[in-house]
Structure 1
Amino acid sequence: MIIGTGLIANSLKDINSENNLFFASGVSNSLETRSSEFEREFSLLKNTLENNKSAKLIYFSTLSVNDQSKQESHYVLHKLKIEDYIKNNSESYLILRIGNIVGNGGNPNTLFNYLKNQIMNNHKFVIHSKARRLLLDIDDIGRFLVSNCMNIKNETINFAYPYYYNLKEITEAIENKLQKDAQYEKSEEGDFYKVNFDDTTNTFFAGVKPEEYLKILTDKYI
């Protein structure tokens, strides 16, 4: 069973979900502050778990829980609260903490979509030179679950391509694909947080170099 209708949910539609419960619904905006939005997701999760006790739950969390600068944000606190609830109330689960998703459609304000739209529309923008981001092809979520879901039980896994891209690298890759110069200024700002990736994630992406992965993303989604 797949709960949700967004980018992640649609990417899982061809996966056999007979004994699995993919929970891909809820708050997607990391800047959300309305308690009603968080309560809606929490209530849906509780009811879904109650009605599907025999299924294995796969929940999609965020790598932002590792970001020390966001430990007081409503979004991160909400995700951690749900993670704890799952651990205490589900007999079989997999929590997948994911990075910056790249795919067709989805939130126009995601990093990749934002940079693509700024360049395409000749808009000026600012690149924070010290910022680093972890990217993830939306299709890799389904591929990872197909190959690993049955073998993983009651674990929390950090999942993204394990390389910290700076914004200039991402911008240049998009420029090359569009054959269009970006109109940006540099600012000596930005930060990033370190994530511990386990062997499961590292093995999944083994053999793919950072520049190759970035080219895959631009070729597929631009």
Structure 2
Amino acid sequence: MIIGNGLIANSLKNIDSGDMLFFASGVSNSLETRSSEFEREFTLLKNTFKNNSDDSKLIYFSTLSINDQSKQSSHYVLHKKEIENYIQENSENYLILRIGNIVGKGGNPNTLFNYLKAQISSSNKFSLHIKARRLLIDIDDIALFLDTNCSQLKNKTINFAYPYYYDLKEIINAIQLKMDKKANYDEVNEGDFYKVDFDENTNNFFSKTTSEDYMKILTEKYI
């Protein structure tokens, strides 16, 4: 069963199963501050627990931003932590996936890939923080990972993204190459990133793909 109708929810349709309860409905904007939006997700999750009489495995989609020390006081990260704690305390069979920067068709226009694609396409000038690094994940890999690994992962929290820290120039250069259009940006000596520990499940899943190949896959599919 899939709860939600956004980018992640739609990507799971081919692996939907009566044994799995995919909770893919929630606050998608990491800059959200309205308490009503967070309360809506929490209420839906609690109601889902009450109605889950068949004890299906619960799969919840959290965020790698939980590892970002600069965002520990943000409404979004505090909310995700609260949700994770609730699941860990109330579910006997769950899997929490902390997701990196999703790359896919459609979805939130403010995601990194969508933003850069739009700026380059429209010839808009933007600032490039040269110290920034980002962890990316192809939306299709979420479903593929769950399809091949979910059954043997019980009561775990997994950091899930391609385990390589892309700098923004790498991403922009790949998009420029695919679009055959030059980006217009000013370099700013700013930016940061946070370290994430990836377990053997994530590392093994991506072990046959180099960082260069993964970026090429992303641009070929989504640019």
State the Cα distance separating 1:207 from its structure 2 match.
Answer: 1.5
2:2–2:16: 8 Å Cα contact kept in structure 1?
no
Moved segments of 4+, more than 4 Å? none
| CA distance in structure 2 between the aligned counterparts of 1:26 and 1:172, rounded to whole angstroms | 32
Number of corresponding residues: 222
What amino acid is aligned across from residue 64 of structure 2 in structure 1? L
Per-residue CA shift, 1:165-218, capped at 9, x if unaligned? 000000000000000000011000000000000000000000211010000000
| CA distance in structure 2 between the aligned counterparts of 1:4 and 1:172, rounded to whole angstroms | 34
SS of the aligned residue for 1:87 comes to helix
What amino acid is aligned across from residue 151 of structure 1 in structure 2? Q
| CA distance in structure 1 between the aligned counterparts of 2:59 and 2:205, rounded to whole angstroms | 18
State the Cα distance separating 1:49 from its structure 2 match.
Answer: 1.1
Q: CA RMSD in A?
A: 0.5
Residue matched to 1:121? 122
Unpaired stretches in structure 2, ≥5 consecutive residues:
none
| CA distance in structure 1 between the aligned counterparts of 2:137 and 2:219, rounded to whole angstroms | 12
Residue matched to 1:61? 62
2:132–2:191: 8 Å Cα contact kept in structure 1?
yes
Unpaired stretches in structure 1, ≥5 consecutive residues:
none
Percent identity of equivalent pairs: 72
State the Cα distance separating 1:16 from its structure 2 match.
Answer: 3.3
Residue matched to 1:221? 222
Residue matched to 2:13? 13
What amino acid is aligned across from residue 192 of structure 1 in structure 2? F
| 1:109 and 2:105 correspond | no
| CA distance in structure 1 between the aligned counterparts of 2:72 and 2:8, rounded to whole angstroms | 24
Per-residue CA shift, 1:63-89, capped at 9, x if unaligned? 000000000000000000000000000
What amino acid is aligned across from residue 19 of structure 2 in structure 1? N
State the Cα distance separating 1:26 from its structure 2 match.
Answer: 1.1
| 1:32 and 2:14 correspond | no
Structure 1 length-normalised TM = 0.99
What amino acid is aligned across from residue 208 of structure 2 in structure 1? G
Q: Tell me which moved more, 13-22 or 190-199.
A: 13-22
2:3–2:23: 8 Å Cα contact kept in structure 1?
yes
| CA distance in structure 2 between the aligned counterparts of 1:52 and 1:62, rounded to whole angstroms | 24
| 1:95 and 2:70 correspond | no
SS of the aligned residue for 1:57 comes to strand
| CA distance in structure 1 between the aligned counterparts of 2:95 and 2:17, rounded to whole angstroms | 14
| 1:51 and 2:51 correspond | yes
Structure 2 length-normalised TM = 0.99
